[in-house]
Structure 1
Amino acid sequence: MADSEMIPGGYSDGNVDTNRSNNPTLESIVEKRYSRRQTLFGGMTATAAALFLSACGEDKDEAPIVDSGGARSTSSGKLVTLKGSATDAKGSITSSAWTQVSGPSVTFLSNSGDTATFIAPSVASSTDFVFHFAAQDNGGNTTTADSTVTVAPGKLDFTAVPKNLNDIVTVPAGYSVTVLYRLGDPITAATPAYANNGTDGNFAQRAGDHHDGMTYFGLAATGNARDDLSSTRGLLAINHENITQRYLHPNGPTGTGTGQSRPEAEAIKEIEAHGMSVIEIARGATGWSYVQGSALNRRITPLTPMVFNGPVRGSTQLRTRFSPDGTQGRGTINNCANGTMPWGSYLTCEENWVGYFRRGGTDNAARGGATAKSVISLNRYGSSQGASGNYGWSTVSPADPTNSGFARWNVSVDPLAPADGTGDFRNEINQYGWVVEVDPYDPTSTPRKRTALGRMNHEGCWPSKMVEGRKPAFYMGDDARGEYLYKFVSNTPWVAADANNTNRLAMGDKYLDAGTLYVARFDATGQGVWLPLVFGQGSLTPSNAAYPFADQADVLINARLAADAVGATKMDRPEWTTVNPKTGEMYLTLTNNNASVRPLNGTDAANPRHYNDPKDTTAQRGNPNGHILRLRETGDSSEATTFQWDIYTFGAGADLDATNINISGLDASNDFSSPDGLWFSRPTNPGGLVNPLMWIQTDDGAYTDVTNCMMLAAMPGVVGDGGVKTITNTGADGSTSSQQTFAGKAPGSNLRRFLVGPKECEITGIDSTPDGRTLFVNIQHPGEDVGTNFPTSFSSNWPASQTSSSAVSRPRSATIIITKDDGGVVGL
């Protein structure tokens, strides 16, 4: 009905009986308030808003005006800040707070007043999270508004770091690097600061050298109790693989000439700089630091008492003058990669230990000639007759003549000693090459060498995905060109409650001392077989012509010979293993190989490339850039004896032949060489869920004319996501051969360079806090080439150069901390 229409004697539409005064209308009041406030009522009409305000008491006192910040989008792992605002024209705001009203539950990092923060949780698809902001004034009036945060699945979200030859650790924009724990840093309150001029001693109470594999173990806020979710206080277990000898002494080592004796003090310093550290660290208001005087701090060195566990304990081949019954040992050495056990212990793994031992020039004859079993074993492990031994420790004449700690580095047979080895150290070399279990929470505990896992150049030992009622597996690479990939399967099915057992070494006894050691055979079909190394089966018998095995202890001590006998596949220097926490697939770095070990006609499906990648004018033939292989156990079971495999990615320079060398299509953002360290983010944060982040570290000599060693982040797919690839390989004389292999899907932007290290370093060792917001990385042997003007200048000055480009300082291996400036999960 039109406004002008009237019905005589009847009802009008409001023009007749309307209040004609000048007082404001409801609509004008609402319009005025709505315009002034700019509150977030979404699509509310002004009238609806007025009704809402009236319900909140606006008819008596004006309620607070609130703004929830509106809707926004983000992705898993990002720091989200909810910022509300509240004003009140008549009174004052007495309280305000955020609450979550829908979506998967989040954990607020902070929630005070108008601001709340949280890490966007892991999601498999875009998910809405709704949060309620409420403010109250001193009259008791309350106003609320909602904010929706849409979270997408996690992704690599940083700009790739360019290749470079700088003398600093370079990380993406938005990230920061701090140095935490360096060679020589004191770990007791009474130990003085490190002078770093070669005069320092007492490395049993200082950080060792060549930081390598590493694990973070959480600590409760107070006391020494284990807390696997603590991201503010914990223990770092850190391997110290080797030393840069010259930097440990004022003018380099002395007594190194032929026929000379090394000084005892120098040798002790060098020995103690090996092994591993356990140190307490804590995050305070200004960031992370290590706790110098913590009662939990510990150095484990080649002098630390050890015990042997498992099938080899008490073997005649472990008997020495120090341990006539073959059950005790001294120390661990050349500790490279690691393993983190679900029950809270640390595995430190002995790698290139054989080079530390001296053998006399007539030792073969003293052992019974070239066909003697011990000579066959020594040769297979690389201990040649006439070897002098790294650093000459066996030449020391100790002040205390009863001290056999130096003589043990000479494994030559003493013809006057008993033939069973109890009067000399002919078997000392067999006491190394093991996986060693350490309880990081108990500095008084004695480490245990787990002999059931075999003796080799253990790069690391990583557990399978743990499944209740299923026997767990532990994957190990033997780090040398042409060696093998191994798997140990425990005899004991996993019991989830054992993860919380406080007797951690007893849990190691339960799961690591009895089981089956396997070695891998990779078939040309893309399938593979785990071959058991069990005495009495197949060729592992006393009648084996190449090496007559006596018992299971003999098989384990000579795991390489056993693997040879059963027909395992020789690999391009197998190093770190890791397991995808979501899929359970195992990844293995194959660092490189050369033409002398794997010639043109020696390729196979799992090690398929033979090419030249020249460095300056020097040819580098074989597989100088390496690759990363992965496998999926049949039935996704750690107990499986067969598997499917492919090659996740091939290392290569972006400029190399895309058809036969740069098969993974790497570009300037992600090309790399010589993969070594390998680790997946923890499943306690978004980096380790849905599509977990894998971190790749390099130990390279082939590409160092272009860039220092690096670390990359990846979101890999799954085994079989690529296809069959035929490669044409080329020899030095121009001859060619073809090789079929199985290449994974090209990684593209799901692989990119995250870090480049300082000069002449190796990037190795990685872990994070459980929340993924702090990443720990080790920088090993910066400036290892020392330089021509030592000791006045050095080829690297890192870590001093990290904060001062003009610094002149002896370089030091160190553990660094990487954090995202906005507090989010590193890498996402």
Structure 2
Amino acid sequence: MMSNISIGYSDGDVDTNESGNRSLNAIIDDRYSRRQTILGGLQASAVAVFGTALLSACGDDDDAPKGSAITVNAGADAATTSGNYVTLKGTVTGGTGGNSWSQVSGVQVALIQIDQNTVAFVAPAVASATPLTFRFSAENGTKSDETVITVSPAALNFNAVAKNLDDVVTVPAGYSVSVLTALGDPIIAGTSAYANDGTDTDFASRIGDHGDALHFFGLNAAGERDYSASARGILVQNHENITETYLHPNGPTNLSSGPRPAAEAIKEIECHGLSFVEVKDDGTGKWSYVQNSAFNRRVTPNTATTFKGPVAGTDYLKTKYSPSGTAGRGTINNCANGYAAWGTIMTCEENWAGYFKRPSSGPEEDTANRSDREQTALARYGVRSSTGNYAWSSATPTQDIFTRWDARAGTGAATDDYRNEPNQFGWVVEIDPYNPGTTPRKRTALGRFGHEGAWVGKLTPGKKVAVYMGDDSRREYLYKFVSATNWDAADANASNRLAVGDKYLDNGTLYVAKFNADGTGNWLPLVFGQVPNRPATGGFPEYVFESQADILVNPRLAADAVGATPMDRPEWTAVNPVSGEVYLTLTNNNASNRPLNGTDAANPRHYNDPKGSSNQYGNPNGHIIRLREAGDDGAATGFAWDIYLFGADSADADANVNISGLTADNDFSSPDGLWFSRDQNAAGQINPLLWIQTDDGALTDRTNCMMLAALPGHVGDGSNVTITNKDSTGATAQQTTIAGAAATAATLKRFLVGPKQCEITGVDSTPDGRTLFVGIQHPGENGTYDAPGSNWPQSQSGTASGRPRSAVVVVKRDSGGIVGL
């Protein structure tokens, strides 16, 4: 750790100076003794601090004319690492003014003027120890002195946060955390403050529940789009689900069967979707949101949407609301996201199937009114609930916004009911945050499934645009969409951002991944005419695809048919902005879905991780896989892969489980959220910083969910390993896989632990990397309105009372440096 390096404190200065320079303290001691007479006992320099607010030290004025009345001191040569906030303070004795700083050599940095003698900069990304020379001038440049700051590559310069079960967000020493926005906060002018007692209404004007993926869209001082702005912007947040007990005064009414009161149902519906909220830094590092901003907006399941791409206008999307099959309403169960370089958010509809009422048996079933093809598709996607989540379709008095959640087919035409309403969900939805008046567009070319993210690959002018997507259910697949159009960098600044989305996201090829045992893989095209019939299985007949629209509505069936590799809950994707390598979290699996004889090289473990007296067989801790496209081309049909990290409890000494060599400082379970730092700052350059978030149920007897910071290597940096798996009977089986390099304290550390019963999900930073936004989802989710499972965020400030609320926190480095480095 490099922190608080100052006169009288040598830790860090000596340990991290890779250039061979003398330590600051030795230099200061020497120069201070030489200058006591010259300066009349005046201390030659202030404090030397790396990773905090100030870096300065004694400069050498030996080149100044002897006997001159003016002495200029730039400070001593020193060392730091990428991402640190460095302050250079010069001193002048006997001068009359005209002082200034300039950079003489080295990687160019932006100097921040503090006063005429003081400037600061953020240490840039470097591949090896690199000297930066700065000149402090006085008397309008006639007198000067120079100092050299040697910058070494990025490092995880913080002490790992210990696992804990506290009811606060815990961050490392040297960092601060504050709550920015929370469930119920009013974002439209005139909306009342949140009472947090279940009486609040009008959630179309408030922050929704279960905040998930985040993205910050910069604004300049004039309120215009500025991708580099770090003091003001629009924070976009998904709202995946609700903790219904906290939304009503005494919990929900008739939740399991209905009828539901309309007032309760509309509140729950409006708590889903997305929030768009202007946020700003007041100039001191304190962030707040702007309630009356013109950019503020809620997109809920009732917001008008439009369909684009090959499925738009087909029979699959025709409903009572949209006989043309081109219009829709809203978005739901928005989990992970993606960001388009042209300035839009791509929000993803994940576990939407359970919201619909469609009993698969009993007096209310509709099988007599469904074709075999429809029944096969509905079963494959899990549209089979007897009431639908929260029983919204039963709400009284009856309204169309409620009956739409009843997906049973009647005896008439599809436009007489909502039998096709499930086909209107499961898409990637593109929205322009800078223009609240635009209508969200559902991009059907990207396929319909339980989307857990849609991350755009590294963009290269003249090459195709690739989008990587996980399907978050056990034994589902990893998909890739490749545009028909080559990327034109000028489109990044287009004024009609959704039209650019039309250009790249409405035409192209959808692929699904097959992972081979030798560390290679193939992208299998899901193209009509190339996809064979899906064989009869599970009591359902052979499925014969009828069109490309059919394949895009039912890519799970198509992926089954081509023989893609079923994965252990494929969730978030993230793309290394330098190498273009693609990372995918595989959150976990259980014994019924990943039995002893059902492992493969890409999903290689079957073991037990006991939780109290309960056994957890399968892959309860999950892993992270990564791939590199052939030729580093997003349009390639082949790739290489390995398993970057295996989740594990470090207390388990079995090397067949803890394959990545995790310790108490970096062990984790159930990786979920995944995000590489922005390439606009040092954390996203050369060797980008990766953030890993957990949605854990396996290790929660020992710790709350967490976020880790990592400096990963590359595909192929490890070796083949053979694992001995074991099931509940004691039977064993061996499985060979390709493991990445083992984790070390230098490459993986726990950075944050959340409050009780939460999930950590959603992360982004300002472009300069000095402010980190993190989502804290459903704290206290296992409690009730009269016995909350958490009191967060109130507990963050020491109040152990009140209903818990999902919220976004701001994490800052006290030094002002880049978060995580």
TM-score (norm 1): 0.90
Aligned to 2:193: 193
Aligned to 1:8: none
1:201-350 alignment to 2 at 5 Å?
201-223=201-223, 225-256=224-255, 258=257, 260-286=258-284, 287-350=286-349
Aligned to 1:86: 92
Verify: 1:798 aligned to 2:792, yes or no.
yes
Aligned to 2:78: 72
1:31/1:113 CA distance change after superposition, 3 Å? closer
Aligned to 1:642: 638
Aligned to 1:153: 153
| CA-CA distance at 1:93 after TM superposition | 3.7
SS in 2 for 1:564: helix
Verify: 1:677 aligned to 2:673, yes or no.
yes
Aligned to 2:27: none
Distance 1:95 1:635 in 2: 54
Identity %: 58
SS in 2 for 1:94: coil
SS in 2 for 1:465: coil
Distance 1:256 1:77 in 2: 50
- Amino acid across the alignment from 1:687: A
Distance 1:754 1:31 in 2: 44
1:810-821 alignment to 2 at 5 Å?
810-821=803-814
| CA-CA distance at 1:540 after TM superposition | 5.0
Verify: 1:654 aligned to 2:650, yes or no.
yes
Residues 97, 111 of structure 1: 8 Å contact kept:
no
Deviations 1:321-351 (CA, angstroms, capped at 9, x unpaired): 0001111101100000000000000000000
SS in 1 for 2:415: coil
Aligned to 1:134: 137
1:181/1:699 CA distance change after superposition, 3 Å? same
1:363/1:484 CA distance change after superposition, 3 Å? farther
Coordinate RMSD, CA, aligned: 2.1
Verify: 1:761 aligned to 2:764, yes or no.
no
SS in 2 for 1:729: strand
Verify: 1:499 aligned to 2:505, yes or no.
no
| CA-CA distance at 1:35 after TM superposition | 8.4
**Structure 2: gaps (5+ residues):** 1-34, 45-57
Residues 156, 827 of structure 1: 8 Å contact kept:
yes
Larger Rg: 1
* Of 562, 566, 571, the match for 1:566: 562
Distance 1:414 1:483 in 2: 31
Aligned length in residues: 769
Residues 364, 375 of structure 1: 8 Å contact kept:
no
| CA-CA distance at 1:103 after TM superposition | 1.5
Distance 2:691 2:419 in 1: 41
- Amino acid across the alignment from 1:396: A
| CA-CA distance at 1:41 after TM superposition | 7.5
Aligned to 1:450: 443
SS in 2 for 1:575: strand
Verify: 1:534 aligned to 2:544, yes or no.
no
Residues 540, 555 of structure 1: 8 Å contact kept:
no
Residues 394, 407 of structure 1: 8 Å contact kept:
yes
1:177-188 alignment to 2 at 5 Å?
177-188=177-188
SS in 2 for 1:725: strand
1:633/1:93 CA distance change after superposition, 3 Å? same
Distance 1:186 1:340 in 2: 26
1:351/1:257 CA distance change after superposition, 3 Å? closer
- Residues 363-372 or 471-480, more deviating: 363-372
Distance 1:594 1:32 in 2: 75
Residues 256, 387 of structure 2: 8 Å contact kept:
no
TM-score (norm 2): 0.91
| CA-CA distance at 1:745 after TM superposition | 0.4
Verify: 1:119 aligned to 2:161, yes or no.
no
Deviations 1:414-462 (CA, angstroms, capped at 9, x unpaired): 22x22xx010000001100000000000111000000000000000100
| CA-CA distance at 1:33 after TM superposition | 4.3
- Amino acid across the alignment from 1:295: A
Residues 534, 558 of structure 2: 8 Å contact kept:
no
Residues 460, 476 of structure 1: 8 Å contact kept:
yes
Aligned to 1:775: 772
| CA-CA distance at 1:285 after TM superposition | 3.4
Residues 161, 172 of structure 1: 8 Å contact kept:
yes
SS in 1 for 2:714: coil
- Residues 682-691 or 363-372, more deviating: 363-372
Deviations 1:93-131 (CA, angstroms, capped at 9, x unpaired): 434221112212210122421111110111111111111
1:1-40 alignment to 2 at 5 Å?
33=38
SS in 2 for 1:459: strand
Aligned to 2:626: 630
- Amino acid across the alignment from 2:120: T
1:542/1:751 CA distance change after superposition, 3 Å? closer
Verify: 1:515 aligned to 2:513, yes or no.
no
Deviations 1:688-746 (CA, angstroms, capped at 9, x unpaired): 00110000000000000000000000000000000100000001100000000000000
Residues 187, 290 of structure 2: 8 Å contact kept:
yes
Distance 1:438 1:821 in 2: 35
Deviations 1:235-255 (CA, angstroms, capped at 9, x unpaired): 011000000001000000113
1:550/1:740 CA distance change after superposition, 3 Å? same
Residues 363, 412 of structure 1: 8 Å contact kept:
no
Distance 1:122 1:191 in 2: 45
1:143/1:504 CA distance change after superposition, 3 Å? same
SS in 2 for 1:333: coil
Distance 2:482 2:276 in 1: 28
- Amino acid across the alignment from 2:109: V
